[in-house]
Structure 1
Amino acid sequence: MSPSGVSRRSVLSAAVATPAVVAASGTVTPTSAEAAQTAQTSRNHGAGDGARFTIAVLPDIQYLIDEGGSDHEPALASLRWAVREREAHNIAFLAQLGDLTEHGTEAEMRIADKVFRTGIDGRLPYSVLAGNHDVTDDDQRGDTPYLRTFGPDRFANSSTYGGSSPDGYNSFHTVEGGGRTWLVLALDWRVSDAGIGWAQGVLDRHPTLPTILTTHDIVSADESGEATLSEHGRHLWDGLIRGNDQIFLAMGGHYWPCGRTTLTNDAGNAVHLHITNYQDRYYGGAGMLRTYAFDLARGRIDVETFSPWLLDKKDPTPLEAETVELTGDVDRFSIEIAFAERFAGFAPPENPEPRPPSEMLVAGTAAYWRFDDAGFGAVAGDGTPVRNGARARDLSGNGNDLVAVRLHDGPADVLTWSAGHHVGAPAHASLRFDGAKDPDRGAVLHTRRGAPINTARFESGYTIETFFRLPDPFEGDHAWMGILSWEGRAGEAGKDGGYSPDDAVCSLNVTSERFLQYVVYPTSTDDDPTCWSHAIPVGRWTHVAVVNDGRRTVVYVDGSRITRNAAQRSQGISTVGKPFAIGGTQSGGRFGQGFYGHIGDTRIVSRALSPREFMLPR
């Protein structure tokens, strides 16, 4: 306890102003401030973030290209905005959804040609497709002014264009974004069986590409925005979409009001279907543009709808001002997609090969443990209990082998072997700890008496790294459980200036808020410099690195430096000759609860490593 009678744990609980609300399921509900930050959408996303990119969508513009009287400037403004903002918002592609013109005449197609030629051609890849106001009948209709204007010849030099159906009315594009390739199918407003056969052939030739299907007529919606398949939409769903897991997003125009729905395909996965059409709005839709901002890191697509033409108005009228941006539930929303999981059925993520122990033995390696055959010996399989006394070899060759011990006479399944691992971990294996409190249970692996790491003080600096995963759901009270530590009491090292002489001399723990706490009693001071991370997510592997340069400590989570690093000077670790342990932290020289979750490769190096030297793959 501190002189005021307040423990370190109480101080943290009081200092953290409720960063999140934890539901009974263990999931975290963001606070209003976090939600506001999350709501930043594509117009705030810079091109430098490789996990983010944007696809722009231009729906029906027929009322703006009508030879009987119209104004094509709003449509031109939208195309020019997409080109102008391409780099700032990482816009990879623009998809138009049909009904380019009101009557599909030669004269109107000449206007449409000029709009696209002056607004976007050669400056941003795009696709178009025919709507019912551009053509009649299905895609076997033959020659039309639309086909002569927006047929295959127009896109021959486009970097994304992959080809068209023999009739010329259906096309496909391959688009680069977020570090992967995407397929865009631009299908006619009435796709024949021959057209569906062609589209199936495109999918068959690109079996690993996630696919966005665009067409003019696919779903209609009621006034609440709830969408259902149209007759032509049912034709596409049954004939193409439901049986091809690659298609995860489909969009069309034609109908109003706007709406959306989610259907389940034959593989059991979600397919999102949207209507985008604003021709019923002021000024024929005012060239409304919709942006789909893909964020692969956050697992979501953020959607916005606005009129670049109205945005440019310096003195808008009241009607223009209220129309410039649409924020209803069908106009501005987010789609949660765990991209890797959603696409795993047709594009399983690459799993790097295990890296040999020799690659991890950088200069100054004091100890390195892993739980595959190389470090733990032959294992019987996933979920196999680890026997008491089982040994994990120190692959550095320095003699810091770990020995498994079940605490408090716990059952065999309190420590089991697992094939689970961080995708970037050197070894494809880990240990699953099933620790708990009330009553205490757990397991640790600790060094034997006389191991060099027991007395190492690291006064010139050190790096401690490990991979771990918190279970999802995160059930029970596991506050202040230890990930790794040195055994013994700070008081044994003569350290009385911290919160308690019963503290472990050095430990990495998980707090009640799922923050990481790294606390050390250094050789250079009587104090206990402590670092705190953000809340660690459940169900996901995390890499943590504690780096000390002989003066101060910096903690990195998944290769990123945290903010709440201790400001105090910190040199060395006041070890007292007792074992180093993985899976728990002592208090008063005794283990209580053990760790709850997985722990993988763990390494200690007797110098400060740079992030590029961490065990994470480069």
Structure 2
Amino acid sequence: MKHFAPILSSVVILFCACGGDDDASSQALAPDAGPSSVAPDAAAPADAAVPDAGPLVCQVERPKSRFTVAVVPDTQYLFDQDRIYPEVLTASLRWIVDHAREYNIVFTAGLGDITENARPDEFAAAAGVYKILDDAGMPYSLPAGNHDLTRSSQFDNARGKEPYLDYLLPTRPGNHPTLGGSSPNGYNSYYVFDGGGQKWMLLALDWRMSQDSMRWAENVINEHPTLPVIATMHELVDRRGAAGDPPNESAVLSSYGQTVWDNVIKNHDQVFLTLNGHFWTPARTTMKNTAGHEVHLHLTNYQDRYYGGSGMIRLYEFDLEHGTIEVSTRSPYMEAIPEANRLPAQAREVALVDADNRFVETMDFESRFSGFRGAPVPLPPGPLSVEQVLVPGTVAYYRFENGAGGPVGDTIPDRAGRGNDLARVTSSGGAAADIAWTNQYHPAQPSRGALFFNGSKSKPPSYLRTTDAAPINAMTFEAGYTIETFVRPPSDCCSEHAWMGVLSRFAPGSAAGKTGDDPSEPLATLSFTDSPMLQWAIFPTNYDGIKTNWSHIFAADVWHHVALVNDGHHTVMYVDGAPVVRNPRSETVGIAAAGKPWLIGAYSYDSKVEQAYYGWLGDVRIVDHALTPDQFMTARPR
């Protein structure tokens, strides 16, 4: 699946004040002080004082299906000859320790360039800070970057021993619980940790791997054939030079990164996520491996920002239940400065919330990992019979399964047996293949098939409509209704297909005597905007204008279940079983009618069908009263 818009509507903020002394935070820095006023001091201890974070933060545990991997990118400007600022990294690592339970932080991954000049005094200062994680028993990795190696060996992939190994050897005591082993030269290591009730592997790879190191990495993956793998290294992808690239397509393999991709990543399906620094600014992309599965490649580096990156850390919050990886970026050092004392340059570094630094990757973990775990993707029991889906009050039920494939014929029966059959309409100039049977379906859908509508604004529409004699044409549903369907918008949806209708009433508001808002709009329509998100817009029987419900932005190329539930007074939209926030609280009774057909896969304006739907459409069920989520078509068991 592709990347999705950087919207964090699903993120639950878990911070809350638990008490504390306000004076403590105000005394941490004088009003005219801040990190920029700290004098360089090569002898500064690794545990130098940092601004107090103020009130305590409630330690709310994540559900067991959620866990976090913390990422520490290039810190080289904090450990540069006599320009040693250990207090900045100290704040970051202390934050990780203090919030380990709240975020269920199971591992901390470095990305190289720990120091600027690979000097022993630089390494000693950095190693002293990382003792914070050692003392807390928290596992971490620290692969070398080019600045962690002396100039004479940076590009020597057969280098010998370097000061890096004396101070930051992967076999430091704090890493023993998860350390699986290191390559013979000491510059590569792997770790196995627990997260969400399963085991994961993290590879910490050298700045420039020799052929022997690449073979070592491949052997490690092959020796752990069922573990998902996160690969970290100092260089892999760089930011694209072209302006205007969307955030999820803003990175490209470097020359060396191409070598790593070809030799270590693309042929090993277990590698699903890669993290690297070195270049700036942050960027990300996805590539398909030889198994046809996506690998997410992320560039994370802030050394070019104020205060050497301000000790920025990234949090990768895995939610196995909901299939997401939520990514956020913050500077604990800048966070700890009382807000009133922050200079503008400091305030900008507290948290980065742009699309490159705060976003969600959506991933069906079971499906993505099933190829190397040797087990099929578990699906809910099914298919369900028609009788199992026909709850009392079912007005119409349509299943779009046809093993023969090919174009859809003239009619599709109403499986509820209420006479609300569908007729196919192919406009003059339209093509038979514009509505086709497919074997695609939502895993929790009752049937095992869907239609693909190949509609657009630039071609004559092909769609389905209820027959003229269908009883549903005159129904106003004043006692309530539940309308359900399954949709999957394609990855190139929906800028060219904005306001395409999933289902709608053909007649405009004026046909039912409505004069408010735009009476040329249809009496009811469930339509995709260009975002894409869904809008349910209707003329209710008790109101002269239009009432609307809105979804959040949808993930493209992913199946979603949508339900519109009206209890006779209010309408609630549900997406994947959860109510959305943009549901009106005003009284909304029924749907106005004019005796005209319902359309499936089309939108009309002023009694003219303007465009057909573009995407997949699964089962459709309409019930004459409000159902609860445990009665939706997705509910199991029945």
Shorter-chain TM-score above 0.5:
yes
- Residues in 2 aligned to 1:320 and 1:39: alpha-carbon distance in whole angstroms: 28
CA distance in 1, matches of 2:378, 2:259: 38
SS in 1 for 2:626: coil
Equivalent of 1:443, from 443, 463, 468? 463
Write out per-residue CA displacement over residues 460-499 of structure 1, whole angstroms, 9 at most, x where no aligned residue. 432111223455645898777654356778889xx53555
1:252-401 equivalences in 2 (<5 Å): 267=290, 272=297, 274=299, 276=301, 278=303, 288-291=311-314, 293=316, 304=329, 306=331, 308-309=332-333, 312=336, 325=349, 333=357, 350=377, 352=379, 354-357=382-385, 358-372=387-401, 378-381=402-405, 384-388=406-410, 390-394=411-415, 396=416, 398-400=417-419
Match of 2:441 in 1: 421
Q: Secondary structure of 2:463's match?
A: strand
CA distance in 2, matches of 1:455, 1:578: 7
Change (3 A) 1:476 1:146: closer
Pairwise mapping of residues 180-579 of structure 1 onto structure 2 (< 5 A)? 183-188=201-206, 191=209, 193-207=211-225, 211-215=229-233, 236=260, 239-241=263-265, 243-244=267-268, 246-247=270-271, 267=290, 272=297, 274=299, 276=301, 278=303, 288-291=311-314, 293=316, 304=329, 306=331, 308-309=332-333, 312=336, 325=349, 333=357, 350=377, 352=379, 354-357=382-385, 358-372=387-401, 378-381=402-405, 384-388=406-410, 390-394=411-415, 396=416, 398-400=417-419, 402-406=421-425, 408=427, 411-434=431-454, 441-446=461-466, 449=469, 453=472, 458-470=477-489, 473=492, 482-485=501-504, 496=513, 498-499=515-516, 507-510=524-527, 516-522=535-541, 525=542, 527=544, 530-533=547-550, 541-562=559-580, 565=583, 569-572=587-590
Using the TM superposition, give the Cα deviation of residue 304 of structure 1 relative to its aligned residue in structure 2, in angstroms.
Answer: 4.3
- Assess, with a 3 A threshold, how the Cα gap between structure 1 residues 199 and 519 changes in structure 2: closer, same or farther: same
Give 1:78 deviation, angstroms.
2.4
CA distance in 2, matches of 1:122, 1:73: 18
Give CA deviations for 1:205-233 in whole Å, capped at 9, x if unaligned: 445655433346779999999999688x7
Q: Secondary structure at the match of 2:569?
A: coil
Aligned match of 1:10: none
Q: Partner residue of 1:78?
A: 92
Code of the residue aligned with 1:420 in structure 2: it is Q
Structure 2 distance, partners of 1:610, 1:190, is 57
**Where does 1:69-148 land on structure 2 (aligned, <5 Å)?**
72-86=86-100, 91-97=105-111, 115-119=129-133, 121-122=135-136, 124-129=138-143, 146=166
Task: Describe the superposition over 1:554-613 as per-residue Cα deviations: whole angstroms up to 9, x where unpaired.
Answer: 23344444555455544455667776553457788x664563234321112232122343
The aligned counterpart of 1:603 is 621
Check 1:370–1:320 CA distance in 2 against 1; reply closer, same or farther (3 A cut): closer
Contact 2:529 2:535 in 1 (8 A): no
Corresponding residue SS for 2:217: helix
Q: Give the letter for the 1:151 counterpart.
A: T
Q: Which residue of 2 aligns with 1:21?
A: none
What corresponds to 2:177 in structure 1?
Answer: 157
Distance 1:70 1:473, change over 3 A: closer
Aligned residues: 561
Q: 1:616 Cα deviation (Å)?
A: 3.6
Q: Which amino acid aligns with 1:392?
A: P
Structure 2 contact 302–309 (Cα < 8 Å) conserved = no
Q: Name the SS for the 2:424 alignment partner.
A: strand
* Aligned residues of 1:554 and 1:565 also touching (Cα < 8 A): yes
- Name the SS of the counterpart of 1:425 in structure 2: coil
Partner of 1:17: none
C-alpha contact (below 8 Å) 1:466/1:603 kept by paired residues: yes
How far apart are the structure 2 equivalents of 1:440 and 1:417?
Answer: 19
Please give the alpha-carbon distance, in whole angstroms, between the structure 2 residues aligned to 1:331 and 1:567.
32
Q: Check 1:103–1:345 CA distance in 2 against 1; reply closer, same or farther (3 A cut).
A: same
RMSD after superposition: 6.1
Farther-moved stretch of structure 1 (257-266 vs 423-432) = 257-266
Flag the 1:43–1:100 CA change in 2: closer, same or farther, 3 A.
farther
Report how far residue 142 of structure 1 moved. 12
2:70 corresponds in structure 1 to 55
Residues 392-446 of structure 1, C-alpha deviations (whole Å, 9 max, x = no match): 341x4x4445242325565533432233334543323222345667886433242
Per-residue CA shift, 1:119-177, capped at 9, x if unaligned? 4544543223467868999688699974897517543334xx44445776643234567
What letter is aligned with 2:311?
M
TM-score (structure 2 length as normaliser): 0.64
Please give the per-residue CA displacement for 1:363-383, whole angstroms capped at 9, x wherever unaligned. 5434322111xxxxx4422xx
1:184-220 per-residue CA deviation (whole Å, 9 max, x = no partner) reads 2023566555443332122224456554333467799
Cα distance per residue 1:300-325 (max 9 Å; x no partner): 8857474x446546799999966994
SS of equivalent to 1:371:
coil
Point out where structure 1 has 5 or more consecutive residues left out of the alignment. Answer: 1-26, 373-377
Change (3 A) 1:417 1:275: closer
Q: Cα–Cα, structure 1 residues 500 and 213, in superposed 2: closer, same or farther, change >3 Å?
A: closer
CA distance in 2, matches of 1:93, 1:188: 19
Deviation per residue, 1:72-125 (Å, 9 max, x gap): 4444332112222445666443123457688887x9988766643444544543
Cα distance between partner residues in 2 of 1:464 and 1:392: 17
Task: Quote the Cα distance in structure 2 between the aligned partners of 1:200 and 1:338.
Answer: 27
Using the TM superposition, name which of 530-539 and 77-86 deviates more: 530-539
Counterparts of 2:393 and 2:481, CA distance in 1: 9
Select the structure of larger CA radius of gyration: 1
Say whether the 8 Å CA contact 1:519–1:531 is kept in structure 2: yes
CA distance in 2, matches of 1:76, 1:238: 37
Q: 1:594 to 1:428 in 2, by over 3 A?
A: farther
Tell me the SS of whatever aligns to 1:202.
helix
Structure 2: give runs of 5+ residues left out of the alignment.
Answer: 16-59, 243-249
User: What is the CA distance between 1:519 and its match in structure 2?
Assistant: 1.7
Preserved contact between residue 398 and residue 412 of structure 2 (Cα < 8 Å): no
In the superposition, the TM-score normalised over structure 1's length comes to: 0.66
